């Protein structure tokens, strides 16, 4: 704990943990790829995510855990068929476990929310959800390995868990500076629109140097950017930057692919309602004895 004025802040406490669900589910699918029950049914995702939730609840003083889901068909895929192309196709075993997990989360423990929106990805859903949290003193942990989530770190109370540690703003700024140069967290999404996002198969409209130059000009002159045309108007101020048809096409495409959609649509939110009978039945069906033990250990100790 540390003291700030008259207020005690517990550094191990978060009010919300916002989870990039597919990102984390994919991780545990590979970490526990050899896990299965006696019937040969894979259970690695189930074990990994359910254990992760219990660990987060215990370590961070029972935060609300928000699972942000990706829409199967989303607006970015409609803009470009190359978006996130080339990734290994997920197996039937993956999707079977995924669906089982999402269904059981509604009954697993209290303070879980499953959030999604038709046509939008997890980062959009998370960004939209964050806008709804009006109290800026709430401590929030983003749970994702995706650097796209950096752009959501709007204030010092929002951190991100990646590479097995918590990154506060200074750590993220250090990472961005080392990789790209002088770049603030608040400008990272705009920079990505200009420079592209290689891991999502989004090529850049400009190189790194020109992208940083444009971002810096926009920031220093406090220019409002509401669409890709606003960026083009800025780029035209630099004689060494040539505006070709290819640049215009990429910038228009990237505006649709990279920017976060944080408003203008409804979030669907399912709230968990703990059901002991359903959880016990689920744990027995998929032989998740360690999960059952962790959940009901106190009851057994007291002979209940």
Report pLDDT for 27: 95
- Render each residue's pLDDT in the chain as its tens digit; 304 residues: 444 443 434 567 999 999 999 999 999 999 999 999 999 999 999 999 999 999 999 999 889 999 999 998 888 988 998 898 888 889 999 999 999 999 999 999 999 999 999 999 999 999 999 999 999 999 999 999 999 999 999 999 999 999 999 999 999 999 999 999 999 999 999 999 999 999 999 999 999 999 999 999 999 999 999 999 999 999 998 988 999 999 999 999 999 999 999 999 999 999 999 999 999 999 999 999 999 999 987 555 444 4
Tens-digit pLDDT profile for residues 218-256 = 999 999 999 999 999 999 989 889 999 999 999 999 999
- What pLDDT sits at residue 302? 40
Of 80, 205, 197, 91, give the one whose Cα is nearest residue 149.
197
DSSP assignment string, 230-242: HHHHHHTT-TT--
Strand, coil or helix: what is 249?
helix
Determine contact, residues 106/61, Cβ cutoff 8 Å.
Answer: no
Residue 115: closest CA among 79, 162, 64, 149: 64
Q: What pLDDT was estimated at residue 6?
A: 37
- The pLDDT assigned to 285 comes to 96
Rounded to whole angstroms, the Cα distance separating 190 from 211 reads 9
Burial label, 194 (beta-carbon count in 10 A; 0-12, 13-18, 19+):
buried
CB atoms within 10 A of CB 204: 20
Q: Could you tell me where the DSSP H helices lie in the chain?
A: 21-31, 44-59, 75-79, 92-108, 122-131, 169-180, 188-195, 208-220, 228-235, 245-258, 276-285, 289-301
Domains, in order of start, for the chain: 14-295 (3.40.50.1010)
Give the pLDDT score at 142.
98
DSSP codes joined into one string, 28-47: HHHHTTT-B-TT--B-HHHH
Q: Which pLDDT does position 11 carry in this prediction?
A: 60
Query: 64-68 and 112-116: which strand pairing?
Result: parallel
């Amino acid at each position: 704990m540390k003291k700030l004025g008259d207020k005690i802040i517990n550094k191990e406490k978060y009010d919300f943990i916002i989870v990039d669900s597919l990102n984390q589910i994919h991780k545990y699918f590979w970490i526990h790829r050899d896990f299965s029950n006696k019937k040969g049914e894979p259970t690695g995702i189930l074990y990994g995510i359910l254990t992760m939730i219990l660990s987060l609840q215990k370590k961070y003083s029972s935060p609300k855990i928000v699972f942000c889901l990706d829409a199967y068909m989303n607006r970015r895929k409609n803009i470009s068929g190359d978006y996130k192309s080339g990734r290994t196709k997920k197996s039937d075993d993956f999707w079977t476990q995924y669906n089982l997990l999402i269904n059981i989360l509604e009954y697993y423990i209290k303070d879980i929310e499953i959030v999604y929106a038709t046509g939008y990805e997890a980062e959009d859903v998370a960004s939209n959800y964050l806008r709804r949290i009006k109290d800026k003193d709430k401590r929030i942990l983003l749970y994702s390995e995706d650097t796209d989530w950096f752009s959501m770190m709007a204030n010092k109370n929002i951190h991100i868990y990646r590479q097995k540690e918590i990154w506060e703003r200074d750590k993220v700024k250090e990472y961005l500076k080392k990789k790209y140069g002088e770049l603030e967290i608040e400008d990272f999404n705009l920079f990505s629109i200009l420079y592209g996002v290689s891991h999502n198969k989004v090529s850049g409209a400009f190189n790194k140097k020109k992208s940083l130059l444009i971002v810096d000009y926009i920031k220093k002159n406090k220019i409002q950017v509401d669409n890709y045309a606003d960026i083009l108007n800025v780029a035209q101020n630099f004689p060494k930057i040539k505006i070709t048809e290819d640049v215009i096409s990429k910038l228009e495409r990237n505006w649709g692919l990279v920017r976060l959609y944080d408003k203008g649509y409804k979030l669907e939110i399912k709230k968990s309602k703990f059901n002991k009978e359903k959880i016990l039945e689920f744990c027995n069906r998929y032989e998740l004895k360690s999960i059952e033990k962790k959940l009901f250990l106190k009851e057994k100790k007291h002979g209940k």
